[in-house]
């Protein structure tokens, strides 16, 4: 059970003072009945709130997928640059507060980004012990040799002592390929290709754990909510 005014705040209907004013005016309905008392206790798992004709139901955790655009940084806030969360809340103003991106994509990198308030899931997705795969579509400044691919798949040195963990590279010629890694070192993909003498021109993440980017359904800069984390429907 939770106080009604606290639940209304968590549903992003307003601040604590704003929702108290709405209740006083009789503008909030709980399970179809007008509610007036901010201190009333409700079951957040079953209650249906109605405000201005819109129904709100509480979910402990929310999950969204963004096809991250270029030019924004992966952060919740920044004094200088526009962030993915600035983009997110401009497109999803009714989404819960307190959401954050899981992991980091560089400012010039596009592709799949998970946004959630499920802290345990975020920790598990990023934990080196979990070995969660991340796949990227890479555009390079030239072709790869068979030796380059073999090195990337075995592990290369990127200036941090040990070799990177083995990667999986899908390459059939030309200047593009897919690479799958399960580490998350700073600028790792770019540094791995630099180690074999290639420069990354474009980088796009196409998969993260069980999530896969469907660019026909989710164009760059767009966002869609997942029904639950394991859902691939967006």
pLDDT (mean) for 57-84: 94
pLDDT (mean) for 115-127: 92
Over residues 166-216, the pLDDT tens digits come to 999 999 999 999 999 999 899 999 999 999 999 999 999 999 999 999 999
Strand partners for 202:
139
Over residues 46-64, the pLDDT tens digits come to 999 999 999 998 888 999 9
Contact present, 99 and 85 (Cβ < 8 Å): yes
Q: Which of 106, 124, 133, 214 is catalytic?
A: 106
Biggest CA–CA distance in the chain, Å, is 72
Per-residue pLDDT at 60: 87
Mean pLDDT of the chain: 93
Q: What are phi and psi of 33, to 5 degrees?
A: -110, 140
Q: Quick check: 234 pLDDT over 50? A: no
Using the structure block, give the residue that is written with the tokens 């993260």. 208
- Cα 49 from Cα 40, distance rounded (Å): 13
- Domain 2-57, CATH 3.10.290.10 — does that match? yes
Q: What are phi and psi of 21, to 5 degrees?
A: -65, -40
Whether 106 is catalytic: yes
Over residues 23-36, the pLDDT tens digits come to 999 999 999 999 99
Q: What are phi and psi of 68, to 5 degrees?
A: -60, 130
Per-residue pLDDT at 230: 62
Share of the chain above pLDDT 70, in %: 97
DSSP state of 16: H
Q: Matching CATH topology for 63-126+219-225 and 133-208?
A: yes
Q: 127: which residues sit within 8 A by CB, 6+ positions away?
A: none
Q: Quick check: 232 pLDDT over 80? A: no
Per-residue pLDDT at 35: 94
The CATH topology of domain 63-126+219-225 is Alpha-Beta Plaits (3.30.70)
Please count the other Cβ atoms lying within 10 Å of the Cβ belonging to residue 224: 15
Domain 133-208 superfamily per CATH: Alpha-L RNA-binding motif (3.30.70.1560)
pLDDT (mean) for 132-139: 97
Enumerate the domain spans of the chain.
2-57, 63-126+219-225, 133-208
DSSP string, 20-59: HHHHHTT-EEETTEEE--TT-EE-TTT-EEEETTEEEE--
């Amino acid at each position: 059970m939770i106080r009604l005014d606290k639940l209304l705040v968590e549903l992003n209907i307003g601040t604590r003072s704003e929702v108290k004013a709405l209740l006083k005016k009789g503008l909030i309905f709980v399970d179809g009945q007008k509610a007036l008392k901010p201190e009333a206790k409700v079951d957040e798992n079953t209650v249906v709130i109605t405000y201005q004709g819109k129904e709100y139901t509480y979910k402990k955790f929310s999950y969204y997928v963004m096809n991250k655009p270029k030019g924004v940084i992966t952060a919740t806030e920044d004094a200088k640059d526009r962030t993915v969360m600035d983009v997110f809340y401009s497109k999803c103003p009714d989404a819960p507060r307190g959401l954050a991106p899981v992991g980091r994509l560089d400012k010039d990198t596009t592709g799949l980004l998970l946004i959630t308030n499920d802290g345990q899931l975020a920790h598990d997705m990023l934990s080196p012990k979990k070995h969660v795969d991340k796949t990227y579509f890479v555009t390079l400044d030239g072709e790869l040799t068979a030796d380059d691919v073999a090195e990337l798949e075995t592990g290369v040195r990127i200036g941090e002592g040990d070799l990177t963990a083995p990667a999986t590279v899908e390459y059939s010629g030309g200047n593009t390929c897919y690479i799958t890694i399960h580490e998350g070192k700073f600028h790792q993909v770019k540094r791995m290709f630099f180690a074999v003498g290639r420069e990354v021109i474009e980088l796009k993440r196409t998969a993260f754990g069980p999530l896969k980017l469907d660019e026909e359904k989710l164009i760059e800069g767009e966002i869609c909510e997942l029904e639950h984390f394991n859902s691939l429907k967006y």
